[in-house]
Amino acid sequence: MTMVGSGVRCRACGSGEAGRIRDVPERMFQTGDVFPYAECPRCGSWSLMQVPADLDRHYPAAYPAFSARTPAPAQAWREWWLDLDAGAPARLVAALVPDRNRRILDVGAGSGRLLHDLAQAGYRRLHGVDPHLPETAARETPFALRRGTIADCPGGWDVIMYHHVLEHVPAPDEELLRAAERLAPGGRLIVRVPLADSWARRRYDTCWLQWDAPRHLWLPTRAAIRLLAARAGLALIREIDDSRGNQAWASRLYQRGRTPSRDLDVFPRRRQFMTMLPLLAAGRCWARVLNLLRRGDQAAFVLEKPL
């Protein structure tokens, strides 16, 4: 990454102007590491100032994306109450891509949970890649899943998906260019990302759940995604806010010095359930309001390659 003065050249707009800097702790696994991020004065995106050389260390086996593809009933119930709704991406894809015969590539597929849900819904031509995927996991799936990146994939895809992946990529402009090259004419790119210009990021600052240092190498704004799409020659045809209640309740737990994943391991014991219920209910309702106001902390951008 190019350093300019006390700032960082923005991954989205390329600005080298120096902006605000925040020191952000790693919170998910409580490693004690702290990472500086710089804000772009032009587009508002935040960029990690120096990518750790041992980044793989921050993607342990316990990382959520590598969890079981089919959750147990108790886990599914827990996800519903916590307003995590891991099935939402599959419903979104089904609404945007009704043809079950389309060739679909999921970049950053993790354990393949989304691909599994799509296979259950009748999609037949599914492929996934993930640079941090354990080799053993790639051999245990009924669909094509392997360790790799978009650069390792051929072209001709009808749909390429980045579900909360682009923020993990050090050069998102190059990534979208590669994806655009591999789309068939008229193909679509679905990009879901956290948003730095959201209510939750401003309200909770470095305690915002989706800051997720250092795994999130940058945090885009809506303007940044639109700019990247235009540079890749893709037309933005739709934006869908799909933020969840955890932007409030989990970020508040971080503010209190607690770790949501650990605090809720005992959920749903009665006492824990009754203590958390008002916070969970308020977070769920507030997320729906923020989505309607287009101020949610994450959104899906649907981009299309010209014919």
Digit-coded pLDDT (tens) for 137-193: 655 677 889 999 999 999 999 999 999 999 999 999 999 999 999 999 999 999 999
- Split at pLDDT 50, 70, 90, the class of 2 is very low
On whether residue 110 sits in a domain, the answer given is yes
CA nearest to 190, candidates 155, 166, 211, 217: 166
Choose the weakest-confidence range: 52-56, 138-142, 186-190, 263-267.
Answer: 263-267
Per residue in 65-119, pLDDT (tens digit) is: 776 555 565 566 667 667 776 788 999 999 999 999 999 999 999 889 899 999 9
Segment 8-27 mean pLDDT: 88
Altogether, the residues listed in the chain come to a count of: 307
Looking at residue 56, what is its pLDDT?
86
The CATH number given to whatever domain includes residue 201 is 3.40.50.150
* 24 vs 64: which has the higher pLDDT: 24
The tally of domains found in the chain comes to 1
Single-letter amino acid code for the residue at 159: V
Tell me whether residue 91 is in a domain.
Answer: yes
**Average pLDDT of the segment spanning 286-307:** 96
CA distances from 195 to 90, 270, 276 (A): 21, 34, 26
Residue 108 in any domain: the answer is yes
* Rounded-to-integer distance, Cα 253 and Cα 234, Å: 39
Q: Is residue 282 part of a domain?
A: yes
Answer yes or no: is 22 within a domain: no
Q: Is the residue at 3 inside a domain?
A: no
Is 191 inside a domain boundary? yes
CA dist 127 to 103, 161, 166, 279, 295, Å? Answer: 8, 10, 18, 38, 32
Q: What is the pLDDT of residue 3?
A: 39
Domain region containing 76 = 59-304
